[in-house]
Amino acid sequence: MYLAAFGCAVPERTVDAPQETVQVTSDARRNLSEARRLIALGNYELSLRISEGVLAGPAGPSHGDEALFIMGLIFAHPGNQNRDYQRSIAFFKRLNREYPYSPLKEQARTWTEVLEENMKLKRASAEAREENARLKQIIEQSKKVDIEIEEKKREEKR
């Protein structure tokens, strides 16, 4: 608050911001809004390109957190054929690291934890399926051995 009172706040958020900065911010907001709309329409690739452009552009420092958040959502989205939870987590963690005061920080942290838990549960499920298949194989082998033993007993009785 002390710094803001003496004009040391971020230029994009001051009343006397240069017109160029206002335009950059306006463009970034419009682009990020479009990126969100494209996710809803299932156009993940274009949404990703737009978000990457905002992040790499002049508005990156002031809107990078939202761009990273959108990129994380893109790779977590169940409708995305190129869904990649690791990449999604990387974007959310980067948001938390590079924008520690972002209003999206808690949402990104929550997404990270949910995705990590999901991946952990998928691994556990895969391991359980493998164990189940292994046990079924053992049961089948045991049944064969039982059948062989029964056949030998019948032969011995003859």
Tell me: the pLDDT tens digits for 39-78? 999 999 999 999 999 999 988 888 999 999 999 999 999 9
DSSP symbols for 104-122: THHHHHHHHHHHHHHHHHH
On whether the CB atoms of residues 71 and 52 are closer than 8 A, the answer is yes
Is there a contact between 96 and 64 (Cβ–Cβ < 8 Å)?
A: no
Residues in the chain: 158
Q: Residue 95 burial (CB < 10 Å; 0-12/13-18/19+)? A: buried
Q: What is the pLDDT of residues 68-123, one digit of tens each?
A: 999 999 999 999 999 999 999 999 999 999 999 999 999 999 999 999 999 999 99
CA angle, 12 then 14 then 20, to 5°: 45
Q: What contacts 7, CB < 8 A, 6 or more positions away? A: 14
Q: Within 10 Å of residue 46's Cβ, how many Cβ atoms?
A: 13
Any idea where the domains of the chain sit in the sequence? 11-132
- Alpha-carbon distance of 146 to 63, in angstroms, equals 69
Task: Look up the pTM and report it.
Answer: 0.73
CATH class of 11-132: mainly alpha
